[in-house]
Amino acid sequence: MTAPMTTTLIPATGDGTTARSRAARRWRRARAPLVVLALLLVGGLLAVLPAPRTSTAPLAPDNPGDTGARALAQILTRHGVHVHYVRTIAAAEKAATAGSTLLVLGDLYLTPDMVGRIGRSAADLVLVETPDVLDRLAPGVVPSFGGSTTDVRGAACDDPDAVAAGTITAAGAVRGHGPGVTVCFLESGAGAGEGGALAVVAGARRVSVLTDAGPLTNRSLADQGNAALALRLLGVHPDLVWYLPSSDDLGIERSSQGGTSLTDLIPPWLVQLGLLAVAVAAAAAVWRGRRLGPVVSERLPVVVRAGETTRGRGRLYRRAGAHAHAAAALRAGAASRSAARLGLPRSADRPATVAAISRATGRPAADVEHLLYGSSPTDDRALAVLARELDHLESEVHRS
């Protein structure tokens, strides 16, 4: 049909680019992803950086809220006290050396083992709101009932810290037994016992018990002599270990268990081989990932099948439960094909059609009439039966 002629085009030399234009194109292509990457990095840094600056944990030295203690920590820092903020017993144990102060805030999360480890440390102790561990850490000091309301109390003892503070606002009370225990800031008012808010146990190391953390908080630090008491209690030594026990810390360290961990069992060369395997995988990805040229697109024809409209109509019939409608279509089709087969004209009326089909199949005319023009089926089963019977009728017409 066509002559076998060929088109030979002028040779194309190069792809019309120079090293400069390629570099420019690469830069243009890489620019947008790089900007996104930079934004992500900056955003990540911004999200990470302010996180350690403040917290909302009560009595934390980085909490600027009412219940926090950042004011106290900052004042101490300004006066040359190094505040080591720790949340685990292991860190507290490590930091609390002789000649430092260990501040323990609350005993809710302290296990007996942890209490023992606090007791073994050489540092001076300041126990705040720790009524349940007093018997082990502060011998001679017992919690006392009463004094549960916060009120202003005078020193009422000869401890120099208490005297310097004068009055504080505090709640709670402890009583002292035995020698070397000084109880200050006695509770006042009706039914007052001899319990006080501060107990100091002198000895090889000084143990101070404060029944209420209120004087340390940002909210109350400036009230009465709270600040003086807090600064004098915590600022004795240049190092302060600020231990706020955490519910996450169970006081168990893997290294202290003495077992061998999984990493100890892996030979060192296996780790290095793993690293090499990563490098090999990366190289394989580069090898397979580089396409030999761009994808060539194909103009695709329409994919809608012609039968879709018919199927859609069938589904509509079904959803609408149009059994009568469907039956009418099946009957009309069967009748028109049978009539055409029997040579009836298109204009043939109903009795003529029925009579012709009846003659051809040998069926009674009433049967044929009922099948082709009878009552409409009302459910799926009746419709299926009708369809089958129409098939039989039609096959009989075609056999005749």
Q: Tell whether residue 179 is a contact of other proteins (CB under 8 A).
A: no
Which range of residues in 154-162, 164-172, 175-183, 304-312 is near other proteins by CB under 8 A? 304-312
Spatial separation of the C-alpha atoms in residues 85 and 104, rounded to whole Å: 11
Residue 320 CA from chain centroid, whole number: 47
Based on the shown chain and the rule CB under 8 A, indicate whether residue 317 belongs to the binding site for other proteins. yes
Q: What backbone torsions phi and psi does residue 289 show, to the nearest 5 degrees?
A: -80, -20
Structure tokens at 104: 């323990």
26 binds other proteins (CB under 8 A): no
Q: How far is the CB of 289 from other proteins (least distance, A)?
A: 10
**203 CB contacts (<8 Å, ≥6 apart)?**
180
Q: Is there binding between residue 392 and other proteins (CB under 8 A)?
A: no
| Minimal distance, residue 16 CB to other proteins, in Å | 8
**Three-class SS state of 301:** coil
Q: Does 136 bind other proteins (CB under 8 A)?
A: no
Site string for other proteins, 265-294 (x = CB under 8 A): --xxx-xxx-xx--xx--xx-xx--x-xxx
Is 2 among the residues that bind other proteins (CB under 8 A)?
yes
For residues 164 and 254, give the distance between their C-alpha atoms in angstroms, rounded to a whole number.
46
Residues 152/169, Cβ–Cβ less than 8 Å? yes
Q: How many residues does the chain have?
A: 400
Sign of CA dihedral 388, 334, 375, 353: negative
In whole angstroms, how close is the CB of 327 to other proteins at the nearest point? 7
- Contact flag: residue 297 with other proteins (CB under 8 A): yes
* String marking each residue 346-365 x if it binds other proteins according to CB under 8 A: x-------------------
Question: Quick one: which of 25, 31, 318, 392 contacts other proteins (CB under 8 A)?
Answer: 318
Of the candidates 131, 215, 205, 132, which has an alpha carbon nearest to the alpha carbon of residue 174?
Answer: 131
* CB 278, min distance to other proteins, A: 9
Sequence-distant (6+) residues with CB within 8 A of 237 are: 81, 99, 100, 101, 123, 124
By the criterion CB under 8 A, which residues form the site for other proteins?
1-17, 267-269, 271-273, 275-276, 279-280, 283-284, 286-287, 290, 292-294, 296-299, 301-307, 309-311, 313-318, 325-327, 329-330, 332-333, 336, 346, 380, 383-384, 387-388, 391
